[in-house]
Amino acid sequence: MSKSVNWTRNSATDEITIYLGIPILVIGVLGGILNIIVFMSLKTFRQNSCAFFLTIMSFVNIGQLLLSLFSRIMIIGFNADWTDSSLIFCKFRYYCLQVCAVTSYTCMCLATIDQFLATSLHVYWQQFINIKKAYGLCVFFFIIWLLHGIPSLIWYNLDLSSTTGKLTCTITNPVYNSYIAYVYLLILTGVLPICITVLFGFLAYWNVRQIPYRTVPLVRRELDKQLTSMVLVQIVFNCFIILPYIICLFLVDILDPNSESINISDLNFAQDISIILYYLYFASSFYIYICVSKRFRQQLMYVLIDIYH
């Protein structure tokens, strides 16, 4: 009976990965490209630091979808695991997905902090982050994350699995494995970015409510309101997408797999579903922007019809 249930769950995981993962991949890459086109085509966005952070985030989100989600679809949905047959791809995939993920979260955090400062009551804080500082911050953090990922190039290796008897791409250093489980996955790509974006998002929302009572140029005021609303809605969406993923990871890490009171197969199935939904974070930003901001929809139509028609 248990074998039948496990087979059903595995089959369901395969189908969900294929029929949900592929649409997420396609619409995510398309949305990221449209984000980049809009942000880089309009001078209003090119000179704005928050829009610059969102542009860089769109680039790395596309990279994450192509490198991580696409290979996951091939591995789980089509049983084509290239990481098990190529040591280079084994190391390269995990290195790149780490860099893309933490860079994306960093850009989201910086965009939220930028909007908090841009909507501040004090002129000094409004001008604290400009486009040149935004360039510098992105280069600085990108270098940090490139260096941070180097251990994955060392300790991700092809190792013979004791359960399947096949070579698998896995971490061969137990200390680094603990770091990935408890620091990288739970903190760097989970708790920390959520805490930062929620905190500064709330503060930015408070500042925006004061904008009508301040003497601010109309163009600047409308841009701040537009970008803040786009960022705030994405923060709320991210919490609903990322939190189930974090909870499942945490439970898998702390629970005893040999305990009779815990159905590990159910937990693993929930984790597989939460991972697929987690990729919506990297795929959803464009669609959030067009739903939230009428101005962004108008800018999109202007770029596609008047500039590139």
pLDDT, one tens digit for every residue, the chain (309 residues): 455 556 576 788 888 889 999 999 999 999 999 999 999 999 989 999 999 999 999 999 999 999 999 999 998 888 888 888 888 999 999 999 999 999 999 999 999 999 999 888 787 788 888 999 999 999 999 999 999 999 999 999 998 777 666 788 899 999 999 999 889 998 999 999 999 999 999 999 888 877 655 555 555 667 878 888 999 999 999 999 999 988 888 887 777 666 555 566 777 788 888 999 999 999 999 999 999 999 999 999 999 988 776
What does the pLDDT read at residue 303? 93
169 close to 97: Cβ distance less than 8 angstroms: no
Question: What is the residue extent of each domain of the chain?
Answer: 1-258+278-308
Structural tokens at position 223: 């841009």
Task: Return d(Cα 20, Cα 275) in angstroms, integer.
Answer: 11
What does the pLDDT read at residue 269? 83
Task: Return d(Cα 297, Cα 291) in angstroms, integer.
Answer: 8
Task: Return d(Cα 133, Cα 49) in angstroms, integer.
Answer: 8
| CB atoms inside a 10 Å sphere around CB 159 | 14
- For residue 167, with 0-12 CB atoms within 10 Å meaning exposed, 13-18 middle and 19 or more buried, which class applies? middle
CATH code: domain 1-258+278-308 is: 1.20.1070.10
Q: State the pTM of this model.
A: 0.91
| CB atoms inside a 10 Å sphere around CB 298 | 10
Task: Return d(Cα 117, Cα 133) in angstroms, integer.
Answer: 13
AA letter at 257: P
Distance of CA 111 to the CA centre of its chain: 14
AA letter at 64: Q
DSSP 109-166: HHHHHHHHHHT-SSHHHHTSS-HHHHHHHHHHHHHHHHHHTHHHHHHEEEEE-TTT-S
> pLDDT tens for residues 76-108?
888 888 888 888 999 999 999 999 999 999 999
